[in-house]
Structure 1
Amino acid sequence: MQSIQTILAVIVIFGLLVSIHEWGHLYFAKRAGILCREFAIGFGPKIYSFKKNETVYTIRLLPLGGFVRMAGEDPEMIHIKPGYEIGLVFNQKGKVSQIIINNKSKHPEAQVVQVERIDLEKQLIVEAYNQEGELVQYEIDEKAHYIQDEQATQIAPWNRQFGSKSVGQRAMAIFAGPLMNFVLAVVILIAYALLQGMPVDEARIGDVTNDGVAIAAGLQKDDVVLSINNHSLSTWEEMTSIIQEHPNEELIFEVEREGETLIIPVVPEVREGQFGENEGFVGIRGPTEFSIVGAVQFGFTQTYMFASMIFEVLGMLFTGEFKLDYVSGPVGIYNYTGEAAALGIFVLMQWAAALSVNLGIINLLPLPAMDGGRLTFIGLEALRGKPIDPQKEGFVHFIGFVLLMLLVIVVTWNDITTLFM
């Protein structure tokens, strides 16, 4: 039952995070007039697909991310040379709507011609010899398809290609993916605060959980903690800091309950902290209040806090404090998602928001094959006044993708060994 719950949680969370990220790319690319050939969740072989308007929406086998395939990002695969025989199908306006590359016998409605010259990007014309041997110029519809091996692919005129758009339009189409992850995190956290209540920084117990020592020690919901070990308290942060700093040590809680002052000894359990160190844990939740304005504020401030924590970890790369245990691959994230799901929907919502912020930041790092790497090349183009050679850029992204996959393998192996140690 636990594994089914984990699998469902992973599918929902990763489906949501990747979908909203790729939707950001798709929406702003389409707004710029770029032809988006495919919107994919996952990589590898297709499991399911359907086409709507100009875009094929697919779910693929390997759940390691997703992509939006924009026209012009990869070289167009069709090359029709002079002397090649093709079939032409015309629409009601007399323009070419289909170009039959092979298997022309399956398209008796097509007019077979011999190509002299064809331009599918700018002029949208084909000059060809008809059956009577006359050289005729045919206009090609800008939404025409070429049919190869009975697979239809829409042509991509230059004005529909990624490279034809302004630096700002291309940058926005790339930046929109990570941006949507930050937006999603804010929305999830606002919903969390509206449903669960917004945390209040008071030294008061909002609730007592069943998985800690607080309930057995006698702490109760709405107890106001006046002091711990004679250290006066006024905020939740002060109280939790003392608890975390004293695992397996007796702490004397002075609490106020219904106008009465009580002395309650508590020994925090030892739990693993964020960076692998031991921390004290007693099993209490903070106080909350319900407010629409406060919930919106909480959504933004908590997103900022998650981002700060991630940048703190990344900063350790430069200070030498970074450890491989601070990052997780698919196996580690799967395991943590299962733990979050077991603790309830509200913990899972916070975990999803944290993952969304993490996905947004990691994608914005100026690394090849990442959105940040692509933005770096667009920025260099803006500074130079001309684009980088597409082949050189493509080679850099390919090398970056290979290194990224190697890192995923290393981190995943570390997750597996940690999981079974």
Structure 2
Amino acid sequence: MELLSQAFGFLTGTIVPFLVVLTLIVFVHEMGHYLAGRWSGIGITAFSIGFGPEIAGFTDRRGTRWKLSAIPLGGYVKFHGDEDAASTPDYARLGTLSAEERARTFLGAALWKRAVTVAAGPIANFILAIAIFSVTFAIYGRQVADPVVAEVREPSAAATAGVLPGDLLVAIDGTPVRTFEDVRRYISVRPEVPIVVTIRRDGAEQNLRMVPDRTELTDQFGNKMEVGIIGIVTDEAAGNFRVVSYSPAEAVGQGMQQTWYIVTGTFDYLSNVVTGRMKADQIGGPIRVAQASGQMATLGVAALLQLAAVLSVSIGLLNLMPVPVLDGGHLMFYAVEALRGKPVGPRAQEIAFRIGMGLILMLTVFATWNDTFGRLG
């Protein structure tokens, strides 16, 4: 009975939130492709959430099959003239079509229409993130704190540089900071990278040079991550903790800003991994996402939606990578086609797609290794 209870708890507490988040992100991504394709006059054969055998579906009046498939780890839009869900052109069939029918296929569409249709998927992911952040900011506002130092930890980079309690942080590397979160966000992705912190003390500003320490933090769920810190703390009195409310227009602006922070933070993290300043243990796959979904679900709907927004940005960025089989790979081919004045040959595309698939499989294996065995040394 206890085993059954644990299984039910895992299903409702982890699997269901994971599927809700993933389905939302996939649906919006594929809907971006679908709407752009329809607008471009490209025929669409199928819109699927999931892969594999169809579980349920219907065919609309335009002939598009809308379906829910058995493997809920993605989705696809299949255009006229595609051989499979990966949008591989069916060259044999294309050769039998009339000029009018070929014009309605994806391959027969104008170059700009294909580019817009492909780019619309990742763009939809960014729009989803902005929408989620905007709604949550409009409803709940945001808790902020002034970047005023209440305590300087010993030993630390800030203590060595001469930071004192009561100092107001004005800028870091010339970039203005308005909240304590701005400070944390900037420093966390720069472990062991020299920075210049501008402080205001007794009405006068001064620049202090320091190098953030690399440290391992553990969140409330036991997840570990390496970040940069300088050893300063604020509190309610010094930081003037408060909740800022936003009008709908201001909330959209904040949503766009938050989405941009995730984009830049992702690139900062990846550059740190490449240069060896940070480990690649934060790169996760479905197991990590499922675990995070279950954890955020315990904090409420707003937290789960914000996780969906972060993941949506990540999916958008991943799909824009110039790797064949991803949207970015298709856009890369279109850029080459625009320069050459003719498409990349079928054989070259086939080889590129195989290489791209190999890279994706390698990334999947690496992410699953991280998910299963935790942090790598």
TM-score, shorter chain, exceeding 0.5: yes
Partner residue of 2:70 out of 55, 58, 61: 61
Alpha-carbon deviation of 1:27?
Answer: 0.7
- Structure 1 counterpart SS, 2:362: helix
Query: 1:26 maps to what in 2?
Result: 34
1:248-289 Cα shifts (integer Å, max 9, x gaps): xxxxxxxxxxxxxxxxxxxxx962587435989999996322
Alpha-carbon deviation of 1:188?
Answer: 0.1
Residues paired across the two proteins, number: 303
Partner residue of 2:305 out of 349, 367, 384: 349
Q: How many angstroms apart in 2 are the aligned matches of 1:168 and 1:239?
A: 39
Q: How many angstroms apart in 1 are the aligned matches of 2:182 and 2:26?
A: 37
* Structure 2 CA distance for partners of 1:165 and 1:238, relative to 1, 3 Å: closer
Which AA in structure 1 matches 2:19?
A: I
Q: How many angstroms apart in 1 are the aligned matches of 2:23 and 2:278?
A: 30
Query: 2:151 maps to what in 1?
Result: 228
Alpha-carbon deviation of 1:46?
Answer: 1.9
* Structure 2 CA distance for partners of 1:270 and 1:160, relative to 1, 3 Å: closer
Alpha-carbon deviation of 1:313?
Answer: 1.9
Q: How many angstroms apart in 1 are the aligned matches of 2:313 and 2:253?
A: 17
Which AA in structure 2 matches 1:39?
A: F
Which AA in structure 2 matches 1:415?
A: D
Query: 2:106 maps to what in 1?
Result: 162
Alpha-carbon deviation of 1:227?
Answer: 2.6
Partner residue of 2:97 out of 114, 117, 121: 121
- Structure 1 counterpart SS, 2:54: strand
CA RMSD of aligned residues (A): 3.3
Any runs of at least 4 consecutive aligned residues in structure 1 with deviations exceeding 6 A, and if so which?
A: 278-285
1:273-309 Cα shifts (integer Å, max 9, x gaps): 8743598999999632222132111101000001111
* Structure 2 CA distance for partners of 1:45 and 1:323, relative to 1, 3 Å: farther
- Structure 1 counterpart SS, 2:27: helix
Alpha-carbon deviation of 1:73?
Answer: 3.4
Alpha-carbon deviation of 1:76?
Answer: 4.2
Q: Is the 8 A contact 1:198 1:295 kept in 2?
A: no
Q: How many angstroms apart in 1 are the aligned matches of 2:137 and 2:333?
A: 39
Matched ranges for 1:175-324 at <5 A: 175-202=119-146, 227-228=150-151, 231-232=165-166, 236-237=179-180, 241=184, 271-272=218-219, 275-276=225-226, 287-292=242-247, 293-321=249-277, 323-324=279-280
Alpha-carbon deviation of 1:325?
Answer: 0.6
* Structure 2 CA distance for partners of 1:66 and 1:7, relative to 1, 3 Å: same
Question: Structure 1 regions of 5+ residues with no counterpart?
Answer: 80-118, 124-141, 143-156, 204-224, 246-268
Q: How many angstroms apart in 2 are the aligned matches of 1:387 and 1:76?
A: 15
Identity across aligned pairs (percent)?
32
Larger fraction in strand: 1
Q: How many angstroms apart in 1 are the aligned matches of 2:344 and 2:273?
A: 29
Q: Is the 8 A contact 2:217 2:226 kept in 1?
A: no
1:32-61 Cα shifts (integer Å, max 9, x gaps): 111111111122222222111221112222
Alpha-carbon deviation of 1:369?
Answer: 1.0
Q: How many angstroms apart in 2 are the aligned matches of 1:373 and 1:362?
A: 11
Question: Structure 2 regions of 5+ residues with no counterpart?
Answer: 1-8, 84-88, 153-163, 169-177, 189-215
Q: Is the 8 A contact 2:151 2:234 kept in 1?
A: no
Query: 2:173 maps to what in 1?
Result: none
Q: How many angstroms apart in 1 are the aligned matches of 2:66 and 2:316?
A: 22
* Structure 2 CA distance for partners of 1:406 and 1:44, relative to 1, 3 Å: farther
- Are 2:295 and 1:339 aligned? yes
TM-score, normalised via structure 1 length = 0.64
* Structure 2 CA distance for partners of 1:60 and 1:402, relative to 1, 3 Å: farther
* Structure 2 CA distance for partners of 1:63 and 1:31, relative to 1, 3 Å: same
Q: How many angstroms apart in 1 are the aligned matches of 2:327 and 2:16?
A: 28
Q: How many angstroms apart in 1 are the aligned matches of 2:72 and 2:167?
A: 47
Query: 1:43 maps to what in 2?
Result: 51
Query: 1:363 maps to what in 2?
Result: 319
Larger fraction in helix: 2
Q: How many angstroms apart in 1 are the aligned matches of 2:227 and 2:327?
A: 33
- Structure 2 counterpart SS, 1:298: helix
Query: 2:13 maps to what in 1?
Result: 5
Q: Is the 8 A contact 1:40 1:59 kept in 2?
A: yes
Alpha-carbon deviation of 1:78?
Answer: 7.8
* Structure 2 CA distance for partners of 1:198 and 1:227, relative to 1, 3 Å: same
Alpha-carbon deviation of 1:363?
Answer: 0.4
Q: How many angstroms apart in 1 are the aligned matches of 2:358 and 2:48?
A: 20
1:354-385 Cα shifts (integer Å, max 9, x gaps): 11111111100101111000000011000000
Query: 1:221 maps to what in 2?
Result: none
- Structure 2 counterpart SS, 1:340: helix
Q: Is the 8 A contact 1:34 1:162 kept in 2?
A: yes
Asked which structure has the greater RCO (Cα within 8 Å, sep 6+), the reply is 2
